[in-house]
Amino acid sequence: MTSPGTATFIDNPRIIPFNSAHFTPRVMRKELNAEKYWDIICVAHNANKKKYPELLRSIRKLYDMDSNVKVLFVIASNKSESESNKYYNDIFNDYFKLFSAKEREFFTIIKTDPETGFQGFSYTFLSYLYNRSKIFTIFSQMEGECRVVKEAQLCGLPVVVKSDVQGGIRDYLNADNSLFFDDYENAHLTLKKDQYNLPLVFQYFFLI
């Protein structure tokens, strides 16, 4: 059992294309007529591979174009983050450096205590946050199954990712439910508000 995008197979074995993302609890679903507050949501760990500096620079460029963009980062911390160079530990320093007090009124960061990881959030709470947002983005160059992308899709959000992102993250992304940017320098153009209206034709979902 695995996601097709996360493995290479020899001799055409029988594959059951399931992974843990296919068993997301039913509370993770689209709410009809949910009032949107945030324009952009990103839910991820704070590992360097998530490309937070590139995402912050894109948000900076968005604010240079439209000062009213509402952004939400939901970041799961890691117990070893303060002792490892694998994690982006400067996000709050960069947040205060890049954005004015007025802009920070529109840009919310929720970061868990390192002792809890994502355990401090229930699925119901995360579903609420997804449903109050207009698009989901993650700037990684490579991901595994990337459950947060599937959660965002279940909640009806278009997904914005790099066009050459690799791994299982791509398994259910297409031109009907996703937007793709070619490089980080111009990613902000894909995140603009006028890009958000997609027909949202989803090809899956399997729930427990």
pLDDT tens digits, residue range 95-110? 999 999 999 999 999 9
| Per-residue pLDDT tens digits for 114-173 | 887 667 788 999 999 999 999 999 999 998 778 899 999 999 999 999 999 998 888 888
Give the chain's mean pLDDT.
86
Cα 30 from Cα 111, distance rounded (Å):
24
> Residues, the chain, total?
208
Please report the domains of the chain, with CATH numbers, ordered by start residue.
35-195 (3.40.50.2000)
**pTM of this structure:** 0.87
Q: What share of the chain has pLDDT > 70, as a percent?
A: 83
Evaluate if residue 73 carries a pLDDT over 60: yes
Element (H, E) at 159: strand 159-162
The mean pLDDT of 180-206, rounded to a whole number, is 75
Other beta carbons within 10 Å of 166:
13
The mean pLDDT of 182-192, rounded to a whole number, is 95
Tokens 């993302």 found at: 21
- Quote the radius of gyration of the chain (alpha carbons, Å): 17
Expressed in angstroms, the distance from the first to the final Cα of the chain is: 16
